[in-house]
Amino acid sequence: MSSSVCETYPGICSKSRLAHPRPVRLFHPANDNRQNATRPAIVDLPASLPLPAANPISVVEVGSAVSLLGLLIFAAHEEITAAAPAIASALQRFLANAPAALW
């Protein structure tokens, strides 16, 4: 009795090798740590790269950014102040009814 599928069905193995040849990458290990192994070339960057021309930010742009940040903080504060009483009362009603809801 044969123990191999290829011995039992000889056409299967020969057909599968022809239809799906073994990839070349499987003929060598993925991690090749040999001393004479081929490795990709290392590209050295120059010591000093030319920096792009600096565009200084004008005083008007800095002032605009600071004022927009201030307006954003002020608007967030006003929204919280306006919504806080409604949220507090809803939370108070929920917590007042919570013991009854738990039992």
**Angular region, 46: left φ>0, alpha ψ -120 to 50, beta rest:** beta
- pLDDT given at position 73: 96
Query: pLDDT confidence of 4, banded at 50, 70, 90?
Result: confident
Q: Mean pLDDT lowest for which of 12-16, 58-62, 88-92?
A: 12-16
- pLDDT given at position 22: 62
DSSP state of 52: P
